[in-house]
Amino acid sequence: MKVNITKSLFGEYLGQTVYEYTLHSEQGITVKVLNLGGIITEIDVKDKHGIVKNVVLGYNRLEDYIGNGAYAGALVGRTAGRIAGAQFTIDGTTYHLAKNNGENAIHGGVEGLTAKVFAVKELPHGIELTYTSPDGEEGYPAKVDFKVQYTLTAENTLCLTYEAIADKKTYLNLTNHSYFNLAGDLETNGDTQVLTIDADRLCELREGLIPTGKLLEVAGTTFDLRAGKVIADGIAEGHPQFEITRAYDHPFVLNRSGLGGTPQLSLYSPHSGIELKVFTTQRVAVVYTGNFLDEVLPFDRTVSGAKHTKNARFLGVAIEMQDFPNGINEPAFDVQPLEKGAIYKQQTLLQFDVKTK
């Protein structure tokens, strides 16, 4: 399978040139990625009528991504999610992070990897982004060499491969923060999608959206998505946890990890017929249904070029395949630091299909 790769100027950030790389496969899927933060700006897929639709939320202008708390499409790290008290301890040394989410740290810090310009190398089927984070950046220990690959396969699949190596013991937990609205071009709201997750349990959250360490059984609750559920219906069912989160914004503990067999998660739009199947080596799927997207800058990146003045709440669904958030501070999750010289590697596959009926 041939993948055509082109790049175009997208803007300038802190004196560095930002390019948008377009990956287009013979199968028809197109993915656009910035060298800034590995941001996925667009994924174009044909719907059940053969019309090409963009199925992720994004912006036309670089400045709209800068400092935007939605983290749309971005590579998130060094650690995804919240870290309680903005600190953690490794081998008796406590590391203090920026408190950029109340009293907690979130998504790697004030800038994190989201605001870094990566070096890019073209591959036969995609691109490889690299960045070296110096020891102490954002308060984290160790110099870390990051390598992230975005590649396309013959199965209409985008493969995200995360690798890192550190020069001393540290803590990593990487993910991508794309919001999916498979109706395409924002034609219907994101809560009309059907969400299915192969997870019997999820993490209970306390105020500040920090996991308590307790796992809740999904059976008999609105969190039981094992057979699939329309997101709006699940939100309407309600749950005491929604008093903290407004709707779904929880780490689901996947029943299994690995890239083979059936997907751990799937998302489907009856409007477009487009289905996303997600496979991952990670242990957890943090699913955020865009509960506060009505408070962020309106998204405007659609294939049709349509505009709108305000985001609807639940406009898109962020699917963050990762390890347990705050895992370094929660013994119950058995999250271990990355050892010096050890290779961190995780993969997530995003496979797009279409149902014509």
Residue positions in the annotated binding site? Answer: 177-179, 249
- Mark the binding-site residues for beta-D-galactose, compressed into ranges: 177-179, 249
Q: Are 300 and 186 in contact (CB under 8 A)?
A: no
Amino acid identity, position 91: D
**Look-up: residue for tokens 């999250």?**
335
**Selection from 248, 288, 263, 286 nearest residue 198 by Cα:** 263
**Selection from 75, 98, 28, 41 nearest residue 354 by Cα:** 28
Cβ-based neighbours of 344, under 8 Å, separated by 6 or more? 162, 163, 164, 165, 166, 172, 174, 338
DSSP secondary structure of 43-66: EEEE-TTS-EEE-B---SSGGGTT
Calpha distance 332→329 (Å, rounded): 9
324: its two tokens: 């347990």
Calpha distance 333→335 (Å, rounded): 6
Active site residues: 177, 320
